[in-house]
Each structure stands twice: as structure tokens, then as C-alpha cells.
Amino acid sequence: MGAQRGRETTPQHVAFVMDGNGRWATQRGLPRLSGHREGIGNVSRIAEALVACGVRYMSIYMFSTENWKRPGEEVDGIFELLVEWLGSTAAGLKDNGVAFRHLGRREPLPLSMLRSLDSICGEAPAAVSLVLGLAINYGGRAEIVDALRTLLAGPMQPGEIDEAAVSAALYTADMPAPDLLVRPGGEQRLSNFMLWQVAYTELYFSQVLWPDFDELELERALSAYRERHRRFGGL
Ligand code: IPE
Ligand code: IPE
Ligand code: MG
């Protein structure tokens, strides 16, 4: 869990809440979906910048279990854009050493999305430069419920269940907890992202809308992180 203390250098895992796509489009008089297209397109820019900085894990919140409340047209449009991105840009990232994980519940994602996710997440590249967790149909509470179901169906007795067992039953089982969580778009909340994992994560909020969140904004977030002093409850 990266439990080193003292001044930080480079985070091992940076988590992002991809927020502000809709407003980015509205401000330009464009339909919200063009903001989603731009925002999804920005993921590779940030992934590549993280690799250049030596960060090993990235996760990105792309569609929440609560986002189903949006109009069907927007939901369908987002899925179409995601499927397109998974088959093109994401596949290119994989060729360049990015290993993908799906973080989220499979049901009720459409078959096209599941196929794309299975294809991108299967067979990791030989040399992995970055592990990228795609939080699609992700909810922090749903993840904890799913972990409880896994544990209850498994061989462990209640008294044997510890924090490591819960961590291993989460969607993020083989990823360390995020060291830094970045939320662009101006909102200062988690919106049900990584509730278990962020126990000791450093939080960074930015006014910049996700489609405009570039290498310079990333450097601002990383340099803010370097100024933090993590204590993990110690002195
Ligand atoms: C984030 O952008 C993408 C998703 C939640 C799917 P939003 O669509 O939430 O953009 P805003 O917050 O309305 O600007
Ligand atoms: C959080 O953004 C979910 C994702 C980025 C996928 P929202 O735009 O859905 O969050 P709220 O509704 O402002 O809390
Ligand atoms: Mg939003």
C-alpha cells in the first residue's frame, strides 16, 4: 500500500475523476457528447505523460454506477465513444506497454462494451510501462458489496477476514491504493470513487475541465503532491 512516510517524490498510482466534459462542450455551444469525445481522447495524453514521469499505475473514473441516471441518449453516446476509443487509441497504448484493467461491475454493461473491455484487458503486453484501470460502471459502494459477496462465497471464516482480504476482493486487487487522486472540473467530492482505497490518498482538486487538463496541469498536481507530508497516522 506504499506506506512509506515523509516527503513524497513520484506517486506510484495516480487516480483521476474525469469530470467537466459536459461543461467543456456547453461553454463552446457544442453538444455534450463532443465534450465526452474530447475528454475520452485526453486519457491517452495523460497516460503518456504519467509514463514519462515514472508513474506505474493510473486509474480513471469514466462512468459511474450513478451515471445511468442520465438521459439514455447521453449514456448510449458515451458507450459508443468508449467502445471506439478502446478499439483504437487504447489498443495503441497497449501496443506501447500499457496493461489495462476493468474496474467495475459487468452487469448491465452492453455486450459491445464487455467485448471491448475483455479484448483490451486480456493478454498484457510483454513489458508493462503502466497499469491503467478503467472505472466503467464503477461505484465504490457497489465494489464493497461485490467484495462482500466474494468473501461470503469463499472459504474464509468471518474471524479470518482482514483488511488484506477485503483489498484482494476489490476490483483493484492487483493495484496499490492511489497515492494521489486528481479531480478536475471544480467539484470537491469523491462521487463514490474508490471509497475503500482512498483512506490515505492525497486529494488534489482543480478548476480546469478534464478535456483541458494537460501536461502542465498534471505537473501542477504532481508538484502539489511533492509538497505534501504523508503521515499515515504516525508522527
Ligand atoms: C464526466 O463529465 C464524464 C462522465 C461523468 C461520464 P461530465 O459529463 O460529468 O461533465 P460535467 O460535469 O457535466 O461538466
Ligand atoms: C463522477 O462525475 C463520475 C465520473 C467522472 C465517471 P459526475 O459528474 O457523475 O459526479 P457528480 O454527479 O458531479 O457528483
Ligand atoms: Mg460531472
Domain segments of the chain: what residues? Answer: 11-225
pLDDT digits (tens, 9 = 90+) for 208-228: 999 999 999 999 999 999 999
Whether the Cβ atoms of residue 136 and residue 112 lie closer than 8 Å to each other: no
pLDDT for residue 2 is more than 60: no
Q: Using CA positions, which residue lies closest to atom 9 of ligand 2?
A: 67
pTM for the whole thing?
0.96
Phi, psi (5° rounding) for residue 6?
100, -175
* Residues involved in catalysis: 19, 67
What confidence score (pLDDT) does residue 6 get?
55
Evaluate the omega torsion of the peptide bond into residue 178 and state whether it is cis, within 30 degrees of 0: no
pLDDT digits (tens, 9 = 90+) for 106-162: 999 999 999 999 999 999 999 999 999 999 999 999 999 999 999 999 999 999 999
> Residue 99: left (phi > 0), alpha (psi -120 to 50), or beta?
beta
Whether the Cβ atoms of residue 129 and residue 47 lie closer than 8 Å to each other: no
Topology, domain 11-225: Undecaprenyl pyrophosphate synthetase (3.40.1180)
pLDDT digits (tens, 9 = 90+) for 23-50: 999 999 999 999 999 999 999 999 999 9
Q: Using CA positions, which residue lies closest to atom 2 of ligand 2?
A: 19
Whether the Cβ atoms of residue 100 and residue 134 lie closer than 8 Å to each other: yes
Residue to substitute in 17, 21, 208 for testing ligand 1 pocket (most ligand atoms within 8 angstroms of CB): 21
Q: Separation of 190 CA from ligand 3 center, angstroms?
A: 11
pLDDT digits (tens, 9 = 90+) for 178-203: 999 999 999 999 999 999 999 999 99
Counting atoms of ligand 1 from 1, which one is nearest the CA of 78?
6
What confidence score (pLDDT) does residue 1 get?
43
In single-letter form, the type of residue at position 38 comes to E
What confidence score (pLDDT) does residue 7 get?
62
Q: Separation of 59 CA from ligand 1 center, angstroms?
A: 16
Does the CB atom of residue 67 touch ligand 2 within 6 A?
yes
Residue to substitute in 16, 17, 81, 141 for testing ligand 2 pocket (most ligand atoms within 8 angstroms of CB): 17
pLDDT digits (tens, 9 = 90+) for 68-106: 999 999 999 999 999 999 999 999 999 999 999 999 999
Whether the Cβ atoms of residue 104 and residue 129 lie closer than 8 Å to each other: no
Cα atoms in the Cβ-side hemisphere of radius 13 Å centred on 119: 16
Residue 48's contacts (CB-CB under 8 Å, 6 or more residues apart) are: 93
